[in-house]
Structure 1
Amino acid sequence: MPETWPSDLGPVICVVGARPNFMKMAPILRAFANHAPAIPTLLLHTGQHYDRDMNDRLFEDLRLPQPDINLEVGSGSHAVQTAEVMKRFEPVLDERKPSCVLVVGDVNSTLACTLVAAKKNIPVVHVEAGLRSYDRAMPEEINRVLTDQIADLLYTTERSAADNLTREGIAAERVRFVGNVMIDSLQDNRQYARSPTTTIATGGGDPALIAGPEGYGVVTLHRPSNVDTPDVLASLLGVLREISARLPLVFALHPRTRGNIERFGLQHLIDTPRMLMLPPQGYLEMLGLMADARIVLTDSGGLQEETTALGIPCLTMRENTERPITVEQGTNTMVGRDIEAIRQQTAETLAGRGKSGRVPELWDGRAAERIATDLAGWLLDRHAAGC
């Protein structure tokens, strides 16, 4: 390994576009900076999801540098958003001449930047490769599958991901099992997590809600399959209200969910002092809330992983998961939209029979270091070979 990075080997363009990307990219950027020699990077924010207050808070919480480039694409349909990212990303590649493009996760920005880079013969590195829900109705599944087909180097979070990639014809030499960078972020930031009582007070709630001996649960709900149909949303809110009679619930309310509750006239289902509605929370606030919760009820992918790492029982209100290791080894139980299953599994957890699980292999807080070491060697070997 040389003492300094070759001056004619361009930077790694690291792409973020939506909230989950920030938690994955923060430890990667730190690992690249700490590598010997340091790996030069450019942080590019597509602006796929952009709320100024939340964006600034996430960058501050995660100790992320401000983006070197912001494409500011904004919201839109999947087609419009993907096309706009592609149009604005291509000139960046022409100007900056990167050694590779590194993308994380499965958002539209991930696929859009992958397509542009591949068309220009610039290597693509995909972090969190090989995860599959096998539900092509999910836009994220399309993004995952296509990105993995095109990427040159694929870093996986769990061993079963390599089996998925093999079935799809992806050569084993392109795949590296490195662990989960989301857990790197969790371990890096656990000491900075916000107190739940502070979070509740700041959100306008009464901290006494969670002060009782029964503790509290945390709820997030945002997927279209759960919140865009009146009957489905009503049934889920109804069972949550029922659960809250036994266990106070802190509900971080996504704007899509809040809007549909109002549009469908379902406000009465959440109008109870035992369910506290909070606005969307920052990373450190959610980390503090989850770490002290008795149970988490969610349809989020990232929370399935974080609760497994924290040892907190999680009920996932989806019919499938792209993170099966959280069920097989972790604390996650799939309950879908089955009201009786939600009711029963919550009762089991509150009776002390919730899943305790274990932390999966290589979810040890060092995944980003392994990526930095491997990627540096891969890029330097390509450079030496004249690629």
Structure 2
Amino acid sequence: MLKVTIVAGARPNLMKIAPIVHSIQKARSDNIKIDFRLVHTGQHYDQNMSGSFFEQLEIPKPHVNLECKGGSQAEQTAKIMIQFEKELISNPADLVLVVGDVTSTMACALVAQKLFTKVAHVEGGIRSNDWTMPEEINRLVTDSITNYFFTTSETANTNLKKSGVDGSQIFFVGNTMIDTLMKQRPNFKKPQIWKDLQLSNGNYIVMTLHRPNNVDEQCQLRDMINEIIANTRDLHLVFPVHPRTQKILKRLNIDHPRLHAIEPLSYLEFNYLVERAKAVITDSGGVTEEASVLRVPCLTLRNNTERPETITLGTNELIGTDPKRLKSYLKILFNGNWKKGHDIPLWDGHAADRIVECIKNI
């Protein structure tokens, strides 16, 4: 029996591991000798941000939650490594599968290698080339000690080869986050805010902001929000507020009748809004992927991206963190001249099946 330990640490990880869990379950029903153990590190966890996802994405509850929440990045890395080492010693695996670029990804990969357990990285090879991002450090460290890379794009493949990874270790499989999006699209759920504001297709914009460059400085966040308000005509601005952003937003006391700061939404509710929005304004890499596949215009408030395919093929544009740059892009949007987007190779809903096929052969 091939034993795979799957690690999740934060909300974005759940969308990425859900289809892999489903594909392993399907393989088992076909009498393939493979089994999994789902480990949640507890890095980020609350009911709206993570808890409801298990039910909505039809993921079994984790076999264990390591409850490594809080602390500085160093403290959290240490907590995760200590607890995951105990977990892996108690429940040995043939392969530890980590996803994405959160602290748990890096910490669990390190532990696995020191216990002589092979590591596979789902979403390996993506790069922003911005070392001020904690996620970029997590990617670089994880990929430097990974055995098998499951990649989302040819750009990621090229990045890995340039860093010296042998092509036999790289498996271009597509994007498991899009597997989840396609599977769950018929189940998108109308949130209460839709009724409260009497929203309709295209009469609102969805906003998400959580990156330090945008939210840690009060002046930056205030200027960004004011610029968005000033250039979005009469559209509602629906803003599910990340806990990181909530603390700063409260101090700003921004009050505008079109700005609706609400609690974080479940996966199905959030994507119901994204699919029907005039546009999305975000600094989230995952949201740019979802918006591109849903063919919704996306304005990314970052100076770099690790997902260039959402720009070259998708509906995403990289605006930067200067609030003054928003106006010209919003003008393009309202003039009806936003790019339509194209299909992105292997973002077809079958990435997880390819991953499990690779694991069986490995």
Q: Is this a same-fold pair by TM over 0.5?
A: yes
Q: What stretches of structure 1 move > 4 A for 4+ residues in a row?
A: none
Q: 1:377 maps to what in 2? A: 361
1:357 aligns with 2:341: yes
8 Å CA contact retained: 1:244, 1:275: no
Deviation at 1:359, TM superposition (A): 2.0
Of 138, 142, 150 in structure 1, the residue corresponding to residue 133 of structure 2 is 138
Q: 2:324 maps to what in 1? A: 340
Cα distance change of structure 1 residues 90 and 356 upon mapping to structure 2, 3 Å threshold: same
Deviation at 1:200, TM superposition (A): 3.6
Q: 1:274 maps to what in 2? A: 258
CA distance in 1, matches of 2:184, 2:48: 20
8 Å CA contact retained: 1:221, 1:300: yes
Deviation at 1:214, TM superposition (A): 5.6
Correspondence list, 1:141-220, <5 A: 141-196=136-191, 198-201=192-195, 206-208=196-198, 210-211=199-200, 215-220=203-208
1:303 aligns with 2:287: yes
CA distance in 2, matches of 1:253, 1:243: 20
8 Å CA contact retained: 1:24, 1:104: yes
User: TM-score w.r.t. structure 2 length?
Assistant: 0.96
Cα distance change of structure 1 residues 283 and 120 upon mapping to structure 2, 3 Å threshold: same
Deviates more, 1:330-339 or 1:11-20: 330-339
Letter of the structure 1 residue corresponding to residue 125 of structure 2: G
1:119 aligns with 2:114: yes
CA distance in 1, matches of 2:231, 2:190: 24
Q: How many residues of Structure 1 are paired with residues of Structure 2 in the alignment?
A: 359
8 Å CA contact retained: 1:199, 1:285: no
Q: 1:242 maps to what in 2? A: 230
CA distance in 1, matches of 2:149, 2:120: 6
Deviation at 1:140, TM superposition (A): 0.3
8 Å CA contact retained: 1:32, 1:38: no
Q: 2:351 maps to what in 1? A: 367
Gaps of 5+ in 1: 1-5, 379-387
Cα distance change of structure 1 residues 298 and 38 upon mapping to structure 2, 3 Å threshold: farther
Deviation at 1:256, TM superposition (A): 1.9
Provide, for residues 43-95 of structure 1, a one-character-per-residue CA deviation record: whole Å limited to 9, x for no partner: 00000001145432111111110000111111111100001000011121112
User: TM-score w.r.t. structure 1 length?
Assistant: 0.90
Give the match's secondary structure for 2:98. Answer: strand
Q: 1:15 maps to what in 2? A: 7
Aligned-pair identity (%): 44
8 Å CA contact retained: 1:297, 1:316: yes
Cα distance change of structure 1 residues 336 and 56 upon mapping to structure 2, 3 Å threshold: same
CA distance in 2, matches of 1:20, 1:307: 15
Deviation at 1:38, TM superposition (A): 5.1
Cα RMSD over matched residues?
1.4
Give the match's secondary structure for 2:5. Answer: strand
CA distance in 2, matches of 1:260, 1:185: 32
CA distance in 1, matches of 2:110, 2:12: 20
Deviation at 1:276, TM superposition (A): 1.4
Q: 1:313 maps to what in 2? A: 297
Letter of the structure 2 residue corresponding to residue 349 of structure 1: L
Q: 2:221 maps to what in 1? A: 233
Bigger Rg, which one? 1
Provide, for residues 121-167 of structure 1, a one-character-per-residue CA deviation record: whole Å limited to 9, x for no partner: 10001000000000000000000011111010000000110111111
Gaps of 5+ in 2: none
Cα distance change of structure 1 residues 337 and 31 upon mapping to structure 2, 3 Å threshold: same
CA distance in 2, matches of 1:14, 1:362: 22
Give the match's secondary structure for 1:352. Answer: coil
Give the match's secondary structure for 1:129. Answer: coil
Q: 2:101 maps to what in 1? A: 106
Q: 2:72 maps to what in 1? A: 77
